Amino acid sequence: MTTKQREEQRQARFPLIVKRAGTSVRIYRVVRPDSPPYYQVADYSTGKRRLRSFTDLADAKTAALEIAERTSRGEIDVLRMTPADRASFVRACELLRPTRTAIEVAASAFAQAFEILGSDDHVVDAARFYAARHKQTQAKPVSAAVDELLSVKEARGASPRYLQDLRFRLGRFAQSFAMNCADVSTAKLQAWFDGQTLAPQSYKNFRTAMHTFFEFAVARGYAGDNPVEGVERVKVRTAPAPPYTALELAKLLAAARPEFVPCVALSAFAGLRSAEVERLEWTDIDLAGRCIVIGATKAKTASRRIVPIHDALAAWLVPYAGQTGLVWKGTHDAFYDRQQSTAKTAGVRWKPNGLRHGYASARFALTGDAGRVAGELGNSAAVVHRHYRELMKSTEAQRWFAVRPEAPANVATLPAANAH
């Protein structure tokens, strides 16, 4: 093949139509990633459809011309078809009439789809998938859509706790996807998840938040489909990880920076969840009354509860008496980063809500009262009994509540209250 012929083939627009005396025959160019392009011509000269393939366009044109000439002369005898074949042919023409598509064009397209899919079972499914992915969408940056979703959720009365969590997770997602919603694919999302250091529960929570976001985007025409559907799911263990030991707790408290010490202490000696610590205000802590009030808007279960302040917690909080506002004044991201950096400095692995699990295990070991501990944790007695029974011995529990600041001179003396 000459250079000129190759250039003619490259510039030709397909399908090419070869006409002869009112008869048209189309030539299709087939391109596959693992082989050179080739050309196909549909030949019905034997009464049955047969695709003839050619590596050279000139040969394909010659064959198409011959078929057109023979068809125009009536040499292709459709009467040689069986009655069943003729009935199928007529029915096919009727089905295609509204589309104004020639039967040989439809047959050729189906044959190519069949070859790609390997069967005819999923041709319609493939067409629907393509239509969903390529339907017209409105250009909307991810960050703008996130802001819109949060505004809608707030207007519809979503709880502050839910909005805070959604804002954190979708904000982190939006920072990595500076593009339109329709351009976010499952592959891109999976790569993002694979690049994050997330515990199984955090992975699940992020996936849920992003699924909610793309349902919103699809409903408003910002995305053609929900790419989160194809993102891998992870199995979340229902049982908590082994609690920290008293020695590990002491290391964490010693490594914590001053503004983070109350956060560690509240989880370790009052069993607060990390999210509850972030929402807690100093006015919720009654040092004189020896209790903490977790309001419904700050609790995971949306139920108000009162947690006692034991001697150990009082020792760590008294130096902060007189503080106002939120206990943790930083952002959610900063809280997460501080957890990780504190654990790294202490030389221990950070366990999500591991301090809370330590408190629950120690309290149950000392009291043996699942109902009482459940009330302090905001859980059910069954959950406490199932997850925290016999995780810690009473001697270790006593060591847990014996962890105190290294500089007791800075800690005021309060009325005695034991860990029981």
pLDDT in tens, 236-281: 766 556 788 999 999 999 999 999 999 999 999 998 988 899 989 9
**Domain-located, residue 237:** no
The mean predicted confidence, pLDDT, of the chain is 83
What CATH number is attached to the domain comprising 379? 1.10.443.10
Are 257 and 356 found together in one domain? yes
| 12-19: long-range pairs with CB below 8 Å, 24+ | 12/57, 15/105, 16/61, 16/64, 18/61, 18/64, 18/65, 18/68, 19/68
pLDDT in tens, 356-411: 888 888 888 888 877 787 788 877 777 766 666 667 788 998 999 999 997 543 34
User: What is the pLDDT averaged over residues 30-46?
Assistant: 82
Confidence band of 338 (pLDDT split at 50, 70, 90):
very high
51 touches 43 (CB < 8 A): yes
User: Residue 87 pLDDT more than 90?
Assistant: no
What 3-state DSSP class applies to 75?
coil
**Domain-located, residue 334:** yes
Residue 365 has a pLDDT of 86
Are 31 and 65 found together in one domain? yes
Are 118 and 252 found together in one domain? no
Using the 3D structure, point to which of 68, 101, 134 is the last residue of a domain.
134
**Domain-located, residue 419:** no
20 touches 69 (CB < 8 A): yes
pTM of the shown model = 0.50
Residue 390 has a pLDDT of 61
pLDDT in tens, 132-143: 665 677 899 999
As for how many domains the chain has, the answer is 3
Using the 3D structure, point to which of 100, 134, 168 is the last residue of a domain.
134
**Domain-located, residue 1:** no
Residue 409 has a pLDDT of 38
pLDDT in tens, 132-191: 665 677 899 999 999 999 999 999 988 777 888 899 999 999 999 999 999 999 999 999
User: Residue 414 pLDDT more than 50?
Assistant: no
Are 310 and 263 found together in one domain? yes
What CATH number is attached to the domain comprising 151? 1.10.150.130
Are 287 and 215 found together in one domain? no
**Domain-located, residue 420:** no
Structural domain boundaries, residue 305: 246-410
User: Residue 9 pLDDT more than 60?
Assistant: no
Are 120 and 95 found together in one domain? yes
Residue 102 has a pLDDT of 81
User: What is the distance between the alpha carbons of residues 179 and 171, in angstroms, rounded to a whole number?
Assistant: 14
**Domain-located, residue 320:** yes
Are 82 and 161 found together in one domain? no
**Domain-located, residue 207:** yes
Are 205 and 318 found together in one domain? no
Are 71 and 198 found together in one domain? no
Are 148 and 122 found together in one domain? no
Residue 180 CB neighbours (<10 A): 18
User: What is the pLDDT averaged over residues 205-217?
Assistant: 95
pLDDT in tens, 189-200: 999 999 998 888
User: Residue 115 pLDDT more than 50?
Assistant: yes
The percent of residues above 70 in pLDDT, for the chain, comes to: 84
Are 388 and 302 found together in one domain? yes
Are 253 and 342 found together in one domain? yes
**Domain-located, residue 240:** no
